[in-house]
Amino acid sequence: MVKKISNVKRFRDIIFCAVIILFSIGIILIPTSEQYKQSSANREARCIVLKTDNQFVFQRGTVRQGDQKVTVQILDGADRNRKIEVLNMLQGAVELEWFYQTGEKAIIGYTLDNKKIVGARMLEPLRETHLVWLFILFIAALLILAGWTGVKAIITFIFTILVIWKVLLPCSLEGKFDPVLLAILIVAGLCFITIFMIAGFNKKALGAFLGAFSGCIITWIILLLFGDPLKINGATSSFSTTLRYSGYEHLDLLKLFYAAVILSATGAIMDVAIDIAAAMAEIKEKRPDIGRGELIRSGINIGRLVIGTMSTTLLLAYTGGALTMLMFLLARGISIWRIFNMNFVASELLKTLSGTIGLTLVVPCTALFVGILLVKSVKDKCEQTLTQ
């Protein structure tokens, strides 16, 4: 009997995985809008650096500035094997620039005029090979340590990337959909697919999904309540202002900020929800006679330990990206009261605290949903004992 149930569960998993793979293929086949494509005159290609000329490069402190002349050989595309001289302009923006050495591979952008290259620039050092190996290591770790669950995790991981790249980003750019509502819908879909894919189609998974989605909604409500009083404008996100002045003046940066916070918090919220749901299901399996109230209290007690560490995890994750900014403010001797009132810091605090509140309240929500789904009787064991 147990083997038969296991086979049915495995068959459902395979069918669900196949459906998600088909959806993934469908998303891949969604045509990219022409407005996101470069003109035929502008091309990009991989290349190898043959020679560098650094006579016009000077160093100021730890930063190189000036013009580096780089001779490269194109490795792919219609202009393969062509050798051209490319200018690498160094303006001190270390996060966007790279100082090239002979033998390095890179990506260049160049412009054609009647098959003649009239302008070229160094874009990025070639990192894709090492990223592919890193991704292979990630897949191997999941497959070796998690087995079939690892396979399902990889499918949901790839599906999530595709949804974000092919659905969320283009729809947000076009401005046809409210970015917050779009993010909530996508989060709901991803929570559903991820939780039911990993936990299977059962009451435990349903309770975890309802709890996780409730946590995301709570995070959104906190953002709405405090975003305006804190005078958050959403312009603190990386490249937000650059994006707006690149032909997308219609974008609402505040709503994009809210959408980003909801997406960022969802992962941790799902983790807490499925942890509590799994623990409560295990308790119910070991104690079939447990009452609903007692099971819910057990779930909340388990959740207290989880959120004690996860709230700190969110704080470290969010503020880690602002580490150098905080160091700069400290180095300038800016007072702590002014730091707390700065737009950047207030935005990070809103992001951290709204996500943490959503993470905290997902515990009772999940415990309540799972308790209702797993135990039919309203009376708990203590009440039953008293009535006897």
For domain 42-126, the question of CATH label 2.40.50 is answered with yes
Return the higher-pLDDT residue of 152 and 248: 152
pLDDT at 277: 94
Q: Hey, how many other C-beta atoms are within 10 angstroms of the C-beta on 38? A: 10
Mean pLDDT for the stretch of residues 327-346 = 84
Would you kindly state where each structural domain of the chain is located, as residue ranges?
42-126, 175-387
User: Which residues 6+ apart lie within 8 Å of 65 measured at CB?
Assistant: 57, 58, 59, 90, 91, 92
pLDDT recorded at residue 132: 94
Over range 342-361, report the average pLDDT.
88
- What is the pLDDT, as a whole number, of residue 309? 74
Residue 187, pLDDT > 80, answer yes
pLDDT for res 316 = 75
Task: Tell me the mean pLDDT in the region 329-348.
Answer: 84
In tens, the pLDDT along 252-302 reads: 889 999 999 999 889 889 989 999 999 999 999 999 989 999 999 999 999
β-pairing, 42-53 with 105-113? antiparallel
Question: How large is the average pLDDT for residues 303-320?
Answer: 74
- Per-residue model confidence as pLDDT tens digits over 230-266: 998 888 777 787 888 888 888 888 999 999 999 988 9
Q: How far apart are CA 306 and CA 214, in angstroms?
A: 17
Given the DSSP bridges, would you call strands 105-113 and 57-60 parallel, antiparallel or unpaired? unpaired
| Residue whose C-alpha is closest to residue 109's, from 51, 57, 157, 70 | 70
Q: What is the domain class of 175-387 according to CATH?
A: mainly alpha
- Evaluate if residue 387 carries a pLDDT over 50: no
d(CA 179, CA 257) in angstroms, rounded, equals 9
Residue 6: its pLDDT value, please? 64
**pTM of the full structure:** 0.82
**Which residues have a Cβ under 8 Å from the Cβ of 195 and sit 6 or more positions away?**
205, 208, 209, 212, 270, 273, 274
Q: What are phi and psi of 185, to 5 degrees?
A: -65, -45
